[in-house]
Structure 1
């Protein structure tokens, strides 16, 4: 196998792996935040137009908003109970997950 062919296959493999990682969250993320995906989608694109898309949203904004929902500073009948059991670490993780997704149309 030539060096160029070998390098091309390596790059293709890395790109495929990165794409798959973005397309499917880890089992740990799915177990922890599967309830988020029910409305906001695994890919951060909401399942209904009434729910916000979270793909590519600013991490700090998501952290602040989720903490406000959790702490009752931003009352919401849906998000309040969803955010209530989340620790600061959980909020940081889910915010980073959605912030890292490239926004765009489904």
Structure 2
């Protein structure tokens, strides 16, 4: 009986650890995806004061999705965003917009 309890406890710990590791990996992937914006939009999407490039932090998700898709389909002119946005899937665009909308200014 004692062995069964230990085995059950070990399985629960392993399951919890696995779920935590999966969540950590998903968060790391999302942060890496959002970091692709850092070259122009600053670390964590925060540009410096007075920059012509907008900060992304706190930007409404729906607005960001609309703008990235406009760059992607060419309806909004850009210097490099039209090229960069074509490399993102709709799911990646949604993830990036979710990340920056949830990040506090």
Give the whole-Å Cα distance in 1 for the aligned partners of 2:60 and 2:69: 14
Q: Give how far 1:50 is off.
A: 1.9
- Relative to its length, the structure with more helix (as a share) is 2
For the pair shown, the structure with the greater C-alpha radius of gyration is 2
1:47 CA displacement: 4.7
Number of residue-to-residue matches in the alignment:
80
Q: Deviations over 1:12-37 (max 9, x none)?
A: xxxxxxxxxxxxxx431243333212
Report whether the alignment pairs 1:102 with 2:104: yes
Given that 1:70 and 1:84 are in contact with CA atoms closer than 8 Å, whether structure 2 keeps it comes out as yes
In structure 1, list runs of 5 or more residues that go unmatched. Answer: 1-25
Kept after mapping to 2: 8 A contact 1:39/1:47: no
Paired residue for 2:46?
45
Aligned partners of 1:32 and 1:64: how far apart in 2? 18
Matched residue of 1:77: which SS?
coil
Give unpaired runs (5+ residues) of structure 2: 1-26
Within 5 Å, give how 1:20-99 maps onto structure 2. 26-47=27-48, 49-99=51-101
TM-score normalised over the length of structure 1:
0.65
TM-score by length of 2: 0.66
RMSD: 2.3
1:32 and 1:97 map into 2 onto residues whose CA distance is 10
Whether contact under 8 Å (2:41, 2:54) holds in the other structure is yes
